[in-house]
Amino acid sequence: MFSVRFCNTLYAKSILMEIVIYLHLHNMVVEKVISATAPFLGCLDYVQQITISDYLPVGLRYQGEQVWAYYCKGLNGGWIQ
């Protein structure tokens, strides 16, 4: 029984994916956020996990600052759409 749990734990760790989310804030600051999450999600899904979405004119906010633009990359440098 212990070995089955151990194998499942290893499997669960191996399917996690680390991505880098770049948030260009309205105050001209670029925030770089590293997130470990499950694969097969789009960039918007990752961004929605770490930001607050509000109605315009405020829009998307990260730590109280308005997000002007964002994009995601994997740790290997590849784009995540």
Task: Judge whether 81 and 43 are in contact, CB under 8 Å.
Answer: yes
Task: Judge whether 71 and 59 are in contact, CB under 8 Å.
Answer: no
Evaluate if residue 65 carries a pLDDT over 60: yes
Q: Give the total number of structural domains in the chain.
A: 1
pTM greater than 0.75 (yes/no): no
Average pLDDT, the chain: 77
- pLDDT single digits (tens) 28-44: 899 998 877 666 778 88
CA dihedral 13, 40, 21, 68 (to 10 degrees): -150
Q: Would 3 be classed as within a structural domain?
A: no
Q: Would 11 be classed as within a structural domain?
A: no
Q: Would 1 be classed as within a structural domain?
A: no
Q: Would 53 be classed as within a structural domain?
A: yes
Q: Would 25 be classed as within a structural domain?
A: yes
Q: Report the distance separating Cα 64 and Cα 1, nearest Å.
A: 47
